[in-house]
């Protein structure tokens, strides 16, 4: 089930530059969540998938210089994302937080 979709900037894993990516947040049947990111909206294969299950994700908002960012920590990797709009970034944060809270077994 689709929860949210849209463009954000994601920091690269090895080369720490920012890449513009299309993100899709989905509720899966496992139960869990997937945050998929694509090169562009019309791409059919994701460049990456962040699997979020109960108790595996830490979500925070931060500021570095004049840029606000979203930090998603899962086992083995920390993802940093930002948006050109503060309200868009807050929307992603709120939707992710609510979706994680709604996962079975979360308190």
Q: pTM here?
A: 0.91
pLDDT value, residue 64: 80
Token output for 93: 């944060």
pLDDT value, residue 97: 93
Complete domains list, the chain, with CATH: 2-101 (2.30.29.30)
For the chain, 107 residues long, give each residue's pLDDT as a single digit of tens. 999 999 999 999 999 899 999 999 999 988 899 999 999 999 999 999 999 987 788 889 988 888 899 999 999 999 999 998 999 999 999 999 999 999 887 55
């Amino acid at each position: 089930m689709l929860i949210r979709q849209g463009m954000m900037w994601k920091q690269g894993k090895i080369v720490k530059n920012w890449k513009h990516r299309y993100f899709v947040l989905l509720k899966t049947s496992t139960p869990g969540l997937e945050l998929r990111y694509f090169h562009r909206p019309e791409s059919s294969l994701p460049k990456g998938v962040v699997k979020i299950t109960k108790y595996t994700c830490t979500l925070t908002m931060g500021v570095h210089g004049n840029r606000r960012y979203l930090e998603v920590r899962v086992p083995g990797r920390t993802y940093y994302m930002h948006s050109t709009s503060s309200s868009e970034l807050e929307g992603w944060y709120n939707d992710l937080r609510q979706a994680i809270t709604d996962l079975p077994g979360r308190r």
